[in-house]
């Protein structure tokens, strides 16, 4: 006999049993409605005896079915037996669930509204507990055959599924509770729910960040925390230039030196105003350094001080360098670099014209954008136009 035929027979038997039970109940109710109290007691006893007889018959039928299943499975190979067991277990669970639902409906039909709600909650809780127990058993059975890596993945999936189910149940419960509350209480409940959701999201984000931080290596942490502080390819050249300046100009000639990460890793030298020209001269005429090209010179108002920025390039070293000097804002005076690089002529005139920086020993320091009678210096942060309408 094929599996389909077995299932069809089982369905037919179940339908016949259900019809017989329904007819018996209708007949019992009809007879009870026409009998006086004494006869009704006797009828109830008869009905109880009939119900017991039916239960005994069902038990016998179940025992016979089990025997038959055992007899059939005894002839099957191991793989088919496992499938048959799973199918039989699934059918038994389905029948048990159907009987439990019928019993719950029958009991609920006789209970008042308040008791029905409690009964529903109990049934739902029992069903959830059964589902959770089955899920745990299934998870254990699956993980027993899996290697360690797959077991961890399965645990994570199971945990995620459990969290999702818990969230769904919490939302349903919240909806059920808010449906019975007045508008004011519902708003408060919504606010509490939103606050709780935000708190959970924040906690999840913190946990995720902590897990990510825990898995990071020290190298990754240093790269993420301070990526710009990796050793620059120009660091060795900066060290070479600084060493040469300190040897020929003096130890206190430079106030500071660093690699400018924001400007293509250019080695940057911050000169003392008194040694600014001496350092520039050394960079220009030293045979090893030979910074013969001045590509840029400009001034900046930092409100606390003025600053001159000079960009130089050495074709011999194939290297650029920046030379900076900080000046007093009230009296910004510094030597001109025109005697060293003629290209400094117009940039120094521009800084004088727009910022008021005075470059002494400049061959022709003058205003090149504004007239000689112009009041003030437009690139200063505190500049106010002499004629507002202009």
Same domain, 115 and 43: yes
Question: Which range has the worst mean pLDDT, 6-10, 220-224, 289-293?
Answer: 220-224
Burial of residue 127 (CB within 10 Å: 0-12, 13-18, 19+) is middle
Residue 321 has pLDDT above 70, yes or no: yes
Residues 262 and 352 in one domain: yes
Contact 347, 297 (CB under 8 A): yes
Residue 187 lies in a domain: yes
| 152 belongs to a structural domain | no
CA of 306: how far to CAs of 275, 302, 303, in Å?
A: 17, 6, 7
Considering the domain boundaries, does residue 151 fall inside one? no
Q: Are residues 177 and 297 in the same domain?
A: no
Query: Two tokens at 190?
Result: 């919504």
Q: Per the domain annotation, does 52 fall within a domain? A: yes
User: Which of 142, 171, 196 lies at the terminal end of a domain, its last residue?
Assistant: 142
**SS3 state of residue 111:** coil
Task: Quote the pTM value.
Answer: 0.43
The Cα–Cα gap between 207 and 299 comes to 50
Among 21-30, 138-147, 171-180, 271-280, name the one with the lowest average pLDDT. 138-147
Q: Roughly how many angstroms between the first and final C-alpha of the chain, as a whole number? A: 106
Q: Are residues 197 and 238 in the same domain?
A: no
Same-domain check for residues 7 and 99: yes
The DSSP bridge pattern shows strands 266-271 and 319-327 to be parallel
User: What would the mean pLDDT of 262-286 be, rounded to a whole number?
Assistant: 94
Residue 242 lies in a domain: yes
* Cβ-proximal residues to 383 (8 Å cutoff; 6+ apart), any chain: 376, 377
Inside any domain, residue 136: yes
Nearest-angstrom CA–CA distance, 234 and 240: 10
Question: Is 243 inside any structural domain?
Answer: yes
Domain count for the chain, please give it: 3
Domain CATH for 320: 3.30.460.80
C-alpha–C-alpha distance, residues 356 and 346, integer Å: 14
- d(C-alpha 359, C-alpha 309), whole Å: 14
Last residue of a domain, which of 142, 170, 185?
A: 142
Last residue of one domain, picked from the residues 112, 142, 172? 142
DSSP secondary structure of 319-342? EEEEEEEEE-SSS-EEE-STTT-G
- The segment with the largest mean pLDDT, out of 4-18, 36-50, 264-278, is 264-278
Q: What angle in degrees, to the nearest 10, is found between the helix axes of 235-248 and 276-285?
A: 110
CA 316 to mean position of chain CA atoms = 51
User: Of 138-152, 186-200, 237-251, 279-293, where does mean pLDDT reach its minimum?
Assistant: 138-152
Domain match, 179 and 273 both:
no
Mean pLDDT, residues 40-56: 70
Residue 59 has a CB neighbour count (10 Å cut-off) of 10
- Examine residue 149 and state whether it is found in any structural domain, yes or no: no
* Owning domain of residue 71: 3-142
| Residues 241 and 347 occupy one common structural domain | yes
Position 307 pLDDT exceeds 80: yes
On whether both 128 and 23 belong to a single domain, the answer is yes
CB under 8 Å to 7, separation ≥6 — which residues? none
Q: What is the structure's pLDDT at 143?
A: 56
- Residue 206 shares a structural domain with residue 299: no
Angle, alpha carbons 14-132-155 (nearest 5°): 130
Contact (CB, 8 A) for 263 and 322: yes
Separation of CA 112 from chain center: 49
Residues 132 and 192 in one domain: no
């Amino acid at each position: 006999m094929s599996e389909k035929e077995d299932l069809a027979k089982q369905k037919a038997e179940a339908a016949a049993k259900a019809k017989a039970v329904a007819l018996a109940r209708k007949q019992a109710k009809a007879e009870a409605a026409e009998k006086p109290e004494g006869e009704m007691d006797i009828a109830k006893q008869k009905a109880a005896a009939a119900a017991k007889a039916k239960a005994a018959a069902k038990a016998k039928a179940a025992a016979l079915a089990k025997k038959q299943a055992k007899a059939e499975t005894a002839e099957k190979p191991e793989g088919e037996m496992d499938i048959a067991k799973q199918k039989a277990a699934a059918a038994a669970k389905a029948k048990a669930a159907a009987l439990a639902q019928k019993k719950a409906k029958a009991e609920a039909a006789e209970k008042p509204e308040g008791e029905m709600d409690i009964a529903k909650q109990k049934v739902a809780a029992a069903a959830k507990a059964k589902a959770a127990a089955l899920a745990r058993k299934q998870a254990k059975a699956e993980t027993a055959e899996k290697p360690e890596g797959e077991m961890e993945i399965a645990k994570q999936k199971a945990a995620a599924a459990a969290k999702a189910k818990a969230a769904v149940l919490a939302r349903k419960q919240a909806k059920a509770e808010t449906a019975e509350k007045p508008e004011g209480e519902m708003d408060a409940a919504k606010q509490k729910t939103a606050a709780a959701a935000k708190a959970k999201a924040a906690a999840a984000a913190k946990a995720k960040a902590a897990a990510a931080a825990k898995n990071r290596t020290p190298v990754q942490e240093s790269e993420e925390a301070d990526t710009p502080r990796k050793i620059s390819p120009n660091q060795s050249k900066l060290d070479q230039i600084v060493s040469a300046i300190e040897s020929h100009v003096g130890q206190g000639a430079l106030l500071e030196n660093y690699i400018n990460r924001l400007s293509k890793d250019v080695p940057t030298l911050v000169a003392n105003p008194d040694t600014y020209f001496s350092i520039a001269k050394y960079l220009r005429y030293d045979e090893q350094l030979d910074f013969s090209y001045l590509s840029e010179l400009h001034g900046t108002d930092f409100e606390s001080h003025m600053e001159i920025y000079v960009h130089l390039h050495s074709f011999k070293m194939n290297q650029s360098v920046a030379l900076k000097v900080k000046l007093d804002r009230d009296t910004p005076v510094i030597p001109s670099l025109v005697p060293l690089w003629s290209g400094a002529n117009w940039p120094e005139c521009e800084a004088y014209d727009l910022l008021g920086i005075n470059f002494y020993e400049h061959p022709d320091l003058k205003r090149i954008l504004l007239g000689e009678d112009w009041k003030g210096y437009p690139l200063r942060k505190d500049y106010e136009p002499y004629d507002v309408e202009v």
